[in-house]
Amino acid sequence: MAKNPTHKKPTDAEMKILRVFWDQGQMSVRRVFEVLSKSESTGYTTVLKLMQIMTDKGILVRDTSVRPQLFKPAQAKLKTQRNILKDMVDRVFGGSPGALALQALATRKSTPEELREVRLLLDKLEGDSK
Q: Convert the pLDDT of each residue in 1-23 to its tens digit.
A: 444 444 578 999 999 999 999 99
69 and 82 in a common domain: no
Which pLDDT belongs to residue 7? 53
* The dihedral sign for the CA sequence 89, 93, 97, 102: negative
The per-residue pLDDT for range 65-93, each reduced to its tens digit, is 999 999 999 999 999 999 999 999 999 99
**Number of separate domains in the chain:** 2
Whether 27 is in a domain gets the answer yes
84 and 66 in a common domain: no
User: Residue 37: which domain range?
Assistant: 12-73
Listed residues 73, 92, 107: the one ending a domain: 73
Whether 4 is in a domain gets the answer no
Rg (CA), the chain: 18
Cα dihedral value 33, 39, 43, 45, nearest 10: -30
Quote the pTM value. Answer: 0.77
